[in-house]
Amino acid sequence: MAKMTLIDAINMAMAHELENDDRVVVYGEDVGVNGGVFRATIGLQERFGEERVMDTPLAESMIAGMGVGMAAQGLRPVGEIQFSGFIYPGFDQIISHAARLRNRTRGRMTCPLVIRAPFGGGIHAPEHHSESTEALFAHIPGLRTVIPSSPQRAYGLLLAAIRCPDPVIFFEPNRLYRLTKQEVEDNGEALPLDVCFVLREGTDVTLISWAPAMNETLKAAAELEEEGISCEVIDVATIAPLDMETILDSVAKTGRAVIVHEAPRNVGVGAEIAANLAEHGIYDLRAPIQRVTGYDTVMPLAKMEKQYLPSTARIKDAARRTMED
């Protein structure tokens, strides 16, 4: 078993599917010779040819819309949007078609399309390169939204996304692309697309997070442990459909919940989780729910991004607040 980074695992998952399923094609801006601006697709064109790993013209609505067309005609297209902040021109095709084709035709046509995009902040990139947009997709009926935060989960979830008979928005936290290495076996084993991951067991408070913020959340849990606060940590990962059962079970045990995400707070996915806890777990809650999120501001340029992102300190504060009540 090889130790590898999250981006290596992404690459390995695509290679695995290209190898084993003729219907799989990888396409997008600069995914060919260049291997993508982050090198997620590196070596794939060389190995599988230009017909299966295709550079496209610069047009995101085209990437999404042609993806719908290819998927409806039996391919398993894996499209790349260069950064999640450039997915918006493709929004209409995703919401009006990818997410609806099966329902619209009562199952006659389907749309097994994956759209991958690097996601989130923290890499000092230029404007529009650091967006956290999961809430916009989680609200759309008919769509799955997935964000892995470790090499193993990246591999297993991407396999699952490509094999999924329905459309999947697959965001990759670019801040974690090369942060750590983990052993990942190229065994072709997919992970389920609708179950959260309990990364750490604990008894006092449940920390619920996903995407790059998992990094700070896990750090906070480790540091809080030293203070005597025992944290259960959940990586939501499969943002939609949302596995509330795992979250409710955990909060039933701990009685406290801190939700952490990078996206703006207002009408974020954190709100949905908090709402569910309030609806179904209210009698378990021993303290008000805490949300530690990005501010309701535009993602700032590099100089200020550290101040925007939920820090380990803010997460720890929130956890401590739940212990006060």
Partner 1 sequence: MKTVAKFEIGFEQYLDPEGKPTKKLPRTANKEELLKLYRLMTLVRIFDTKAIALQRTGKLGTYASSLGHEAAHAAIGVAMKEKDCLAPMYREYAAQIERGVKMSEILLYWGGDERGSNFSGPAHDFPWCVPIATQYLHAAGAAAAFKYRKEERVAVTVIGDGGTSEGDFYEAINAAGAWQLPFVGVVVNNKWAISVPLEKQTAAETLAQKGVAAGIECVQVDGNDIVAMREVMEKALAKARAGKGPTLIEALTYRLHDHTTADDASRYRSDEEVKAHESKEPLIRLRKYLMEQGWWTEEDEEKLIEECRAEVDEAVSEYQNIEPPGVEDMFDYHFEEITEPLAEQREVAIREARRNG
Ligand X SMILES: Cc1ncc(C[n+]2csc(CCOP(=O)(O)OP(=O)(O)O)c2C)c(N)n1
Contact characters 45-84, partner 1, x per CB under 8 A: ------xx--xxxxxxxx-xxxxxxxxxxxx-x-------
Query: Which of the choices ligand X, partner 1, a copy of itself, none does residue 272 contact, using the CB cut-off of 5 to 8 A by kind?
Result: a copy of itself
- Asked if residue 278 lies in contact with residue 289, where contact means CB atoms within 8 angstroms, the answer is yes
Q: Which of residues 188-207 bind ligand X (CB under 6 A)?
A: none
- Asked if residue 309 lies in contact with residue 132, where contact means CB atoms within 8 angstroms, the answer is no
Nearest to residue 212, comparing CAs of 82, 315, 122?
Answer: 122
The torsion of the CA quartet 154, 157, 158, 161, rounded to 10 degrees, works out to -160
Q: Which of residues 257-286 bind a copy of itself (CB under 8 A)?
A: 263-264, 266-272, 274-275, 277-280, 282, 285
Choose the stretch contacting ligand X; rule: CB under 6 A; options: 81-89, 171-179, 180-188, 308-316: 81-89
**58 near ligand X, judged by CB under 6 A:** yes
Query: Which of the choices ligand X, a copy of itself, partner 1, none does residue 222 contact, using the CB cut-off of 5 to 8 A by kind?
Result: none
Between CA 34 and CA 183 the distance in angstroms is 26
The residues with which 293 forms a beta bridge, in sequence order, are 261
Contact characters 63-92, a copy of itself, x per CB under 8 A: ----------------------x--xx-xx
Cβ-based neighbours of 50, under 8 Å, separated by 6 or more = 32
- Asked if residue 239 lies in contact with residue 290, where contact means CB atoms within 8 angstroms, the answer is no
- Asked if residue 260 lies in contact with residue 216, where contact means CB atoms within 8 angstroms, the answer is yes
SS3 call for 142? coil
Element (H, E) at 227: helix 213-227
- Encoded tokens for 275: 């709402």
**82 near ligand X, judged by CB under 6 A:** yes
Query: Which of the choices partner 1, a copy of itself, ligand X, none does residue 62 contact, using the CB cut-off of 5 to 8 A by kind?
Result: partner 1
> Is residue 129 among the annotated active site residues?
yes
Active-site residue, selected from the candidate residues 16, 124, 128, 129? 129
**122 near a copy of itself, judged by CB under 8 A:** no
Choose the stretch contacting partner 1; rule: CB under 8 A; options: 9-17, 151-159, 221-229, 296-304: 296-304
**242 near partner 1, judged by CB under 8 A:** yes
Q: Which of residues 105-164 bind partner 1 (CB under 8 A)?
A: 105-110, 124-129, 141-142, 144
Between CA 84 and CA 117 the distance in angstroms is 5
CA 81 to chain centroid, in Å, comes to 14
Between CA 84 and CA 132 the distance in angstroms is 7
**29 near ligand X, judged by CB under 6 A:** yes
SS3 call for 133? coil
Binding site for a copy of itself (CB under 8 A): 61, 85, 88-89, 91-92, 95-96, 99-100, 103-104, 127-128, 135-136, 138-142, 240, 242, 263-264, 266-272, 274-275, 277-280, 282, 285, 288-291, 295-298
Binding site for ligand X (CB under 6 A): 29, 58, 60, 82, 86, 89
Residues marked active site are found at 129
